Amino acid sequence: MGFKLGKYVNIIVNGESLRYPLTGIGWYTWNLLKGLNEHKLINQVVCISECKNTKKTRYNEFLTLPFLKNTIRSLPGIYSFTNYCRSKNFIKKTQFLDHNNFIYHEPSYILHPYFGPKICMVHDISHIKYPEYHPHKRVEFLINNLPNTLSRAEHILTGSDFVRKEIIKFLNISENKVTRIYHGVSERFKPRNFSENKLVLNKYRLNNKKYLLFVGTLEPRKNLDRLILSFKKLSPQQRQQYPLVIIGMRGWCRSNLKNLMVSLIDARQLFYLGYVSEFDLPYLYSGAFGFIYLSIYEGFGLPLLEAMASGIPILAANGSATSEILGNSALLVDPLNEKDIYVQLNQLIYNDVLRTQLKHQGLIQSSKFTWTKCIDCTVQLYKKIIHNL
């Protein structure tokens, strides 16, 4: 391969996940690119996407048409066809880079063809553990393509010890080949007082409301149906005083969720804001009375970090990577038990001593996760790969 040892590293990052609206993998990719471009040991970063490869590019400015996604994804063979087209584009744009000391970092599971050294980020294996929470075509694509990716990669990255152990166990990968590097949280997420939040909260008609917040894509894995059913167990007066605010883009298989939400929306006990801009989101976090995140399965859960850093108490599902990320800074609950959720929801609302404790512990816990630390560890992994070659 002829890889030359040196002080500086050249990196290729696949930027296909940088499509509006950005969700978890897109934000990981955005922060990875930003951090690598600013790192003193990185010589050059090439982002293979529609965006320009300049140092200060805003990687998330290139839009798709969200309303077409579900229709397109339902077409037979669309995942394989899309991957084929993207691979052809990737090969074309990287055909000379493998001879110039470039490591290819894939932020989203499946590697494209590349003859140089390559690493991939596997965010979770929920398609294996909980295939019912994904579209069938997505599961089929990952089952058929992920094993080949893992065998070709020089190294595998993941964001939690929980997922690292699952990759080793369920995909039969050597322990030495998988590294956990925690994600970080943006400094935009921090505690704010009412006067700082006022303009944004007024924009969404949330001023003077003690709202409970959820942030995430509306899809079955996020367990929103049980959250809403548990919320409905509160009295109408309680729901009026502590309304539920849901932020996130519409995912797949959500018809039942819409039926659950409509009466609460009409009564102004639930506010669905859809996808919220990166500029407004930190203010909506810090203005919340509490944060609720009851996912059945999470490989990391960036919204948990954002909520902790914003200084709001959290009610979250136990198990998967959630417990690992939160430590002792949240109320944990069985996400399948509506009665348990209801009981802990009352604790989140009415136990002032507990609320103060959770806020304090959340700020301490979130300070352990920074993008600077994430990027430094990632660059050290690059150096290790180069040394081994």
Model pTM score: 0.89
- 182 is written with which tokens? 């925690």
**How far is Cα 201 from Cα 45, in angstroms, rounded to an integer?**
38
Summarised one tens digit per residue, pLDDT across range 252-266 is: 666 688 889 999 999
- 236 is written with which tokens? 């109408």
* Contact predicate 6/101, CB 8 Å: yes
Write out the E strands in the chain: 9-14, 42-48, 102-106, 118-121, 155-158, 178-180, 212-215, 244-247, 270-274, 290-293, 314-317, 331-333
The answer to whether residue 73 scores a pLDDT higher than 70 is: no
Whole-number pLDDT of residue 86: 86
- 13 is written with which tokens? 């990052």
Residues 6+ apart with CB under 8 A from 36: 11, 13, 42, 45, 375, 378, 379
Summarised one tens digit per residue, pLDDT across range 77-136 is: 677 788 888 888 888 888 878 777 899 999 999 999 999 999 999 999 999 999 998 888
Tokens 């970090």 label which residue? 305
Summarised one tens digit per residue, pLDDT across range 16-36 is: 999 888 888 999 999 999 999
Please report the domains of the chain, with CATH numbers, ordered by start residue: 9-184+370-388 (3.40.50.2000), 194-366 (3.40.50.2000)
